[in-house]
Structure 1
Amino acid sequence: MIKRHFTINWNEPLVCQVGHAYDEGVHQPIISKETHRFFANNFLEYLFTRTVWWVIPPVWLPVIWWFVSISVQRGLTPPQLALSIFCGIFIWTLMEYIVHRFLFHMKTKTYWANTIQYLIHGCHHKHPMDRLRLFYPPAASTILCVPVWTLIRVLSTSSTAPALFGGVLLGYVVYDITHYYLHHAKPSKGLIHSLWRCHLIHHFRVGSMGFGVTSSIWDWVFGTLPSTKAAS
């Protein structure tokens, strides 16, 4: 049950608190690089909530290589391999948009729904400059990969499925690194500047717009591309 007039103590672990005061917990961002503690338990805290940026490529690139190599062993030609990987990346861009818009920004009203939403994305909006909370830890990401891999394996052939999944994972790695760059750099021109501006609007102006991170194509398709006036 949500407690009325609950005030979060930011010096205590947050996960058990934010469900009671979600507006305070998410919709008033703290522009600081400070990392707040989520769990009192060290195992949960460090394995499932904190990740440095340089962990992502060495963890996932070998996995991507392994999946792609399976498709090669199963007879995919180089053009077929390249097409499968490209399709996987394309699938990722749509997944990125859909998950961000409809799961990460779902409206919640109960204590447990608020708490789960805070864990999966709300914490990032509360602490957008927290360098340790920009990524899903590999342990959590691995769990989320299981249904994606299962779906791809069911819907595609045994030879193309690994390369497709490798492409999805490659898109995910690019997403993670791009997301980190958009938060901790200030690009001045080109495509990356446009992405940076849209993401800035999403965080600090209009949270219901600009759900794409590595690409704005789906924001354009579905009418959620923020106006440049929102950045002023």
Structure 2
Amino acid sequence: MVATPFTVDLNKPLVFQVGHLGKAYDDWVHQPIVSKEGPRFFANDFLEFLTRTKWWVIPMVWLPVTCWLVSLSVQTGLTPPQAALTVVGGIFIWTLMEYLLHRFLFHIKTKSYCANTIHYLLHGYHHKHPMDGLRLVFPPAATAILCLLLWNLFKLLTPPSITPALFGGTLLGYVMYDCTHYYLHHGKPSKGYSRDLKRYHLNHHFRIQSEGFGVTSSLWDRVFGTLPSTKAV
């Protein structure tokens, strides 16, 4: 007897369903549903609340942290110009992290129940429901966990006076990324770089999902040869 393929019920919480898709998950998650109405993730109301974040929460939470970090570097010996240059370096580091995470983690192919579920929570839901405005940015609680890991790595690799400003610049790069990402999905740029970037990103969602991993720029796609042949959608 041939087993009946698992079908996701979109009218029920999705997170604990998608793992059952097995090998079919990758095809399913890359067939977008274009609607501003987001699906329910969990039956539990508190867990569901934690998955939803308005875009303006990101700069409100993390910009003060960035300023505090840069001030720490100034207090421990960096001049303001040196601190500013270090922040720029941190932003540059973020652009590479943005590309590498998007390409090698967010687009990893999965097929087991646990791996499918984790991938869906991490990035798969965004490809399935790309216009869900409350799940376009990372919840601050999840970001804080990643920040703790990254902060300790920076402390290990950089001098004490450099670490706060460099990490602050990386955090600023993240804020720029999340706000830009939201704007590319819900903003309506009419001309210039922002319009081209929107086309570039939507091309990744709706035409060539195996290329175009940059969000704030196409720099690293050019460097690593994943620049799509077309930017039009």
8 A Cα contact 1:15 1:39, kept in partner:
yes
Structure 1 position 173 matched with structure 2 position 175: yes
- Which residue type is aligned with residue 208 of structure 1? S
> Equivalent of 1:88, from 87, 90, 115?
90
- Which residue type is aligned with residue 79 of structure 1? P
Structure 1 position 39 matched with structure 2 position 42: yes
Provide TM-score, normalisation by structure 1: 0.94
**Runs ≥4 in structure 1, deviation > 4 angstroms?**
none
8 A Cα contact 1:129 1:184, kept in partner:
yes
- Which residue type is aligned with residue 139 of structure 2? P
The separation in 1 between residues aligned to 2:46 and 2:73, in whole angstroms, is: 36
Structure 2: give runs of 5+ residues left out of the alignment.
none
> Equivalent of 1:58, from 55, 60, 65?
60
Structure 2 SS opposite 1:225: coil
Q: What is the aligned partner in structure 1 of residue 8 from structure 2?
A: 8
Correspondence 1:4-153 to 2 at 5 A = 5-21=5-21, 22-23=25-26, 25-47=28-50, 49-153=51-155
The separation in 2 between residues aligned to 1:25 and 1:19, in whole angstroms, is: 11
How many residues are paired up? 228
Structure 2 SS opposite 1:53: coil
8 A Cα contact 1:93 1:171, kept in partner:
yes
The separation in 1 between residues aligned to 2:28 and 2:67, in whole angstroms, is: 40
8 A Cα contact 1:87 1:167, kept in partner:
yes
Structure 2 SS opposite 1:210: coil
- Which residue type is aligned with residue 44 of structure 1? L
8 A Cα contact 1:8 1:25, kept in partner:
no
Structure 1 position 190 matched with structure 2 position 207: no
- What is the RMSD computed on CA atoms of the aligned residues? 1.4
Provide TM-score, normalisation by structure 2: 0.94
Structure 1 SS opposite 2:31: coil
The separation in 2 between residues aligned to 1:226 and 1:15, in whole angstroms, is: 31
Shift of 1:41: 1.6
Shift of 1:134: 0.1
The separation in 2 between residues aligned to 1:63 and 1:162, in whole angstroms, is: 10
Q: What is the aligned partner in structure 1 of residue 232 from structure 2?
A: 231
Shift of 1:23: 4.2
Structure 1: give runs of 5+ residues left out of the alignment.
none
The separation in 2 between residues aligned to 1:194 and 1:220, in whole angstroms, is: 15
Higher deviation after alignment, 184-193 or 104-113: 184-193
8 A Cα contact 1:33 1:129, kept in partner:
yes
Shift of 1:24: 6.2
The separation in 1 between residues aligned to 2:29 and 2:122, in whole angstroms, is: 12
Higher deviation after alignment, 188-197 or 148-157: 188-197
The verdict on how the C-alpha distance between 1:39 and 1:119 changes in structure 2, with shifts beyond 3 A counting, is same
Deviation string, structure 1 residues 113-134 (Cα, Å, up to 9, x no partner): 0110000000000000000010
Higher deviation after alignment, 181-190 or 132-141: 181-190
